[in-house]
Amino acid sequence: MPTVQANGIGIYYEVQGEGEPLVLIPYLAADQACYAFQIAEYAKHFTCFTVDLRGAGLCDKPEGAYTTELLADDVAAFMQAAGVGRAHVAGLSLGAATGMWLAAKYPERVASLSLHSAWDRSDPFLRTVVEGWRVMAQGLGSVTEMVIQGIFPWCFTPELYAARPEYIDALADFVRGRPMPPVSAFLCQSQAVLSHDAREVLGAIQAPTLITFGQHDMVTSTRFAGPLTAAMPGADVVVFENCSHAPIYEDVDGFNQRTMAFLRQHSG
């Protein structure tokens, strides 16, 4: 089990594939396996480094104040410790928020940047949703069940629940089989979501950037497209129709094809 010491913590990661390095950053409460439906395709062309964030998976979970900037510092330190000099970087939701800080602070490390279900700063609606997840996690005493009962409905459309209930059940079983954080660590990590504000540094991002949204996402809806593209005017924007917050699961083929096209366009 590969673990490196970086930025004062132990960071777990896995490596698959061959080619230019691609660092995949997980979303809130998830471990590095959350990109299971992408790795098989990405690994055909890239050396994929899937990494656990502070507070989740098999990464250390120290107490204290977590911010998306701190998580980016962790990933930069991980890259240094693992010998990854420069890489394509992709992340969804919290992973995207972390990725934008990484690209802004450490431009020499980021060859391209893929921001999925991203937002520039947490607004009152997003904070209200996340505060609800925090209350639910504490009430249930389980981050696993909070994710399935509380976060899933924000990630998938009603149509997916109706048409493919067995798929939702399979995703729930997948979550139950992963190393989920204790409530205390989830509260630390979700605080990074609540406090996220990258407006002052987005203009420093130099890497070619892809920004994607789910058409029916409410948490990080296309209301954030304007602020993000204003700060990064050269960014490509893709909206996945018939998807909510997690196109990586709701439209696996479409997501993989479009994101792979961007990655290959900016490799070599």
User: What is the pLDDT at residue 103?
Assistant: 98
Q: What is the pLDDT of residue 40?
A: 94
Amino acid 263: pLDDT: 98
> Per residue in 29-45, pLDDT tens?
999 999 999 999 999 99
**Axis-axis angle for helices 68-82, 183-194 (nearest 10):** 110
Threshold 0.85, pTM exceeds: yes
Per-residue pLDDT tens digits for 207-263: 999 999 999 999 999 999 999 999 999 999 999 999 999 999 999 999 999 999 999
pLDDT digits (tens, 9 = 90+) for 178-201: 999 999 999 999 999 999 999 999
Q: What average pLDDT does the structure give for the chain? A: 98
| Average pLDDT of span 155-183 | 98
Region 50-58 average pLDDT = 98
Above 90 in pLDDT, residue 1? no
pLDDT score recorded for residue 180: 97
pLDDT given at position 216 = 98
**Average pLDDT of the residues in 130-134:** 98
Per-residue pLDDT at 236: 98
Q: Is the pLDDT of residue 104 over 80?
A: yes
What does the pLDDT read at residue 268?
87
Q: What number is the average pLDDT over the span 5-19?
A: 98
